Structure 1
Amino acid sequence: MKITKWKTVSSEVALKANIFRYVKVKSESPTTGKVGDFDIIQCLNWVNIIAVTKDKKVVLIKQYRHGTDQVTVEIPGGAVHFNEDVFLAAQRELREETGYSSSNWKHIGRVDANPAFMNNYCDTYLALDAEKTHDQEFDPFEEIEVYLRDLKDIPQLVGSGEISHSLVVAAFYFLTAAGEA
């Protein structure tokens, strides 16, 4: 069976929230003609940054996440504003969340956040020779602790579950695949 894109029969925005829209979609399979109802979450695209200092330390952050009700270990990242260039968003998020900046950037990957029911993606950038250049500039409800860890420690942090955010784990996979780890 050849899998092809389904035809959207109808769509309705059921809820507009702060960071997403919930859309009810009715779609038809071109293969079988079956019509079904599907839930779609429309979100802004995302960007993650692996910032590595000259002495091979990764800039990590800790912050409280409401979804899991936990303090998590992550890399800097955030939403790409509407009509914002993804690379400029990466530079902005690194500076705002950590106070670090870099002049040596490389795009190392993109993943779909969850294509089963979400329409957004997450780009990952590598910022080499990162250095502290600014004070942090938090969004209204951000509380972020910045700390450095040796790059060689990252696999253990992922393996132990200390780093458990799926988009962060994917970012470190891209780092390894790019031959930068």
Structure 2
Amino acid sequence: AGGAYVPIDPDYPEERIRYMLADSGARWLVRQPERGGHISFSGDAVILNEGAELQQMEPNLPAAAGPDDLAYVIYTSGSTGKPKGVMVEHHSVVNRLYWMQKQYPLHQDDVILQKTPFSFDVSVWELLWWGEAGAKVCFLPPGGEKDPEVLLQTIKRYGITTLHFVPSMLSAFLDALEDGDR
């Protein structure tokens, strides 16, 4: 539809959310009814009600974005002051997905675990790469990425073949496996 998205964790402090909305120039805020209602926002808000259909939307919007248009803006942690918006264009996303498929080929029987919170860059390939090969994606419940037992049970139950860990989480996961003698 020609827009870029800005992933904002509703658990962020209110000041950070307001800053990200203003800094990015966001014109729309899509949220769940129980999250983010306290944030003042000058644009339009779309509140997603579970089970409700967006009947006024066209079923297939025309493609309006080109390779050099923004796909998303993701904000840094802000550890050196204010968070900075990193602008990522469509061709960068496509290039990353092509590279990953060439370097680490997925197949139709593969299952990617989408465990990274959407406010982190890794979540983009977890959300999109599976479609490159006709594979599958499995979503963890919120917070499940922090619980080694939830991770292990999900891996077993859904036959996860591909997942991403930062080194510290991989270490904690492996330690939990050893402690549980699995």
- TM class by shorter chain equals under 0.3
Greater fraction strand: 1
TM-score normalized by the length of structure 1: 0.24
Of structures 1 and 2, the one scoring higher in RCO (CA 8 A, sep 6+) is 1
Greater fraction helix: 2
TM-score normalized by the length of structure 2: 0.24
